Amino acid sequence: DAGVTQSPTHLIKTRGQHVTLRCSPISGHKSVSWYQQVLGQGPQFIFQYYEKEERGRGNFPDRFSARQFPNYSSELNVNALLLGDSALYLCASSLTEGSNQPQHFGDGTRLSIL
């Protein structure tokens, strides 16, 4: 079975632009979470979605938004990009929303802001 897939794998943008990152969860998984990993740091939680509804939000500005589709795939949108948004963006999926469910991570999208 395919794991969590993210696209694109790499992306280069300039300051002020917006970006959309995509995630397809493992088949049958209904919960998707997004994390930002700045170089040399641990991942930071951005959002969790379950059944198309936001279930949790981390400490990120309103420039960050996300949504989940009926097929449980998800998009992360970032507007008005800043240099500090350069990072690896990770998507994780789990079967349900429960806190005891293991999360499976994709390989991430590496976003570079020039």
Partner 1 sequence: GDSVTQMEGPVTLSEEAFLTINCTYTATGYPSLFWYVQYPGEGLQLLLKATKADDKGSNKGFEATYRKETTSFHLEKGSVQVSDSAVYFCALRSNTGFQKLVFGTGTRLLVSP
**Which residues sit at the interface with partner 1, rule CB under 8 A?**
4, 31, 33, 35, 40-45, 48, 55-56, 58, 90, 92, 94, 97-108
Cβ atoms of 72 and 29 closer than 8 Å: yes
Write out the two tokens for 87: 């990072």
Shortest gap between Cβ of 15 and partner 1 (angstroms)?
26
In Å, what is the CA distance from 107 to each residue of 14, 24, 59, 88?
A: 23, 12, 23, 9
Shortest gap between Cβ of 90 and partner 1 (angstroms)?
6
Name every residue whose Cβ is closer than 8 Å to that of residue 14 and which is 6 or more positions away in sequence: 81, 113, 114
* 15 or 57: CB nearest partner 1: 57
* 4 or 78: CB nearest partner 1: 4
CA-to-CA distance for 48 and 44, rounded, in angstroms?
Answer: 12
Write out the two tokens for 63: 């420039």
* 14 or 44: CB nearest partner 1: 44
Shortest gap between Cβ of 38 and partner 1 (angstroms)?
10
Shortest gap between Cβ of 114 and partner 1 (angstroms)?
21
